[in-house]
Amino acid sequence: MLYNTFMRIENEGFLFHLINLFLCILKQFIDNIANLQISTVMKEEDGFPGQISFVVPEKIISLIKDNPLIADLYLTDIGYYPQASQHFRERSSGSDQFILIYCIGGKGEIRLGDMTYSISSDQCFIIPPHLAHTYHSDFQNPWSIYWIHFSGSKAGVFSQYACRNLSIGKSMTPRYTERIDFFSEIFRNLGRGFNMETLEYTNLCLTHLLASFTHQNLYSQSKQSGENDPVTQSISFMLEHLNRKLKLEEIAAQTGLSASHYSRLFLFRTRHSPIDYFIQLKIQRACHLLDNSGWLIAEVSREIGFTEQFYFSRVFRNVMGMSPAEYRKRNI
């Protein structure tokens, strides 16, 4: 009787330990699966819908280094990752090039050693070469970024702008789209192959593009000063009203200057009177329509504010040295 009771207790104890062991193994298995899922999420490196990227081959980099026009500053990689969910990069030994990350939406995080930097929309960050780093997009609000790897004998001067957020302030007249256009221009040309002419052009564009980040105040001011300039303002006004007959007084009124003062300023700056310049813009538009549409000459004439086709043809000849009909046939 006592023996049977002892054996029952011992068996129950063994069963209890067996169940505990099974539960521990199950918990470890679940933890491993969870860690694997987290690792997969954190280290997803490509496959972003709409992404663009170019990597210049090493053989081509060697040619660039031998070209004195662009050897001092050139890109090795460039791209765009929109809404880059799960984007993650870790380089324990850093990169051989400077890396510029330009965030246009969402947010992310950059870690350099013990320092962590948050980067969000309208900010950029430059990571210097050979510095261990990690960066990733935010889980809830993943960033959209343009990025560049660049190098060259002149690249070292960008160290003074590295390791800190560079804010791209949006003013009343932002140049945001112009900077994006520079990226698009580089993408478009690299997409045609790595011939030397393309490489020279894209890397000369790179210099201006980088300056738009490092010299933000001057970059913004140059646009603002242009838009506040009376001559620039009046030309924009002309372009918006090519279908009208404008008088000098009406154009001058847009600048806040008297007609005589404005006329002298415009002539000094452009070497043309305002009305002559307006006529040139009209004829330039007419040439575009003659080249790229099937419109009748009379229709082109009306589109740019000439009610009489004969007068339009005479003005066109004065500017272009040929009639509209002759212009349209010149390449046929």
Using one digit for the tens of pLDDT, what is the confidence trace for 161-204?
A: 999 988 876 543 456 678 899 999 999 999 988 889 999 999 99
Beta strands 88-91; 115-120: pairing state: unpaired
In sequence order, the 6+-apart residues with CB closer than 8 A to the CB of 139 are: 41
Residues 94, 127, single domain; the answer is yes
Number of domains forming the structure of the chain: 2
Q: Is pLDDT above 60 for 279? A: yes
Q: Do 271 and 305 belong together in one domain?
A: yes
Closest CA to 301 of 282, 277, 280, 319: 282
The answer, yes or no, to whether residue 219 has pLDDT greater than 90, is no
Q: Which of 223, 238, 265 corresponds to the end of one domain? A: 223
Which CATH number do you get for residue 254? 1.10.10.60
Say if 47 falls within a structural domain.
no
| pLDDT given for residue 229 in this prediction | 80
Give the length of the chain.
332
Report the phi/psi class of residue 152: left, alpha or beta, with left for phi > 0 and alpha for psi in -120 to 50. left
3-state secondary structure of 107: strand
State how far the Cα of 209 lies from the Cα of 201, in Å rounded to an integer: 12
Domain limits at 92? 52-223
Same domain? 98 vs 116: yes
Record the tokens describing residue 14, joined without a space.
């063994």
Q: In which region does residue 323 sit, left (phi positive, over 0), alpha (psi from -120 to 50) or beta (all else)?
A: beta
Same domain, 216 and 81: yes
Residue 10 in domain:
no
Query: Residue 147: which CATH number?
Result: 2.60.120.280
Shared domain check, 194 and 265: no
- Cα→Cα distances 107→143, 213, 281, 299, Å: 5, 18, 44, 51
Residue 221 has pLDDT above 80, yes or no: no
Q: Which of 223, 249, 281 is the last residue of a domain?
A: 223
**Which helix (H) or strand (E) covers residue 102, if one does?**
strand 98-105
Summarize pLDDT for 281-305 with one digit per residue, the tens. Answer: 999 989 888 888 889 999 999 999 9
Query: What tokens were used for 220?
Result: 């913004």
Count Cβ atoms below 10 Å from residue 100 Cβ, excluding itself.
25
Looking at the fold, whether 210 and 284 belong to one and the same domain comes out as no
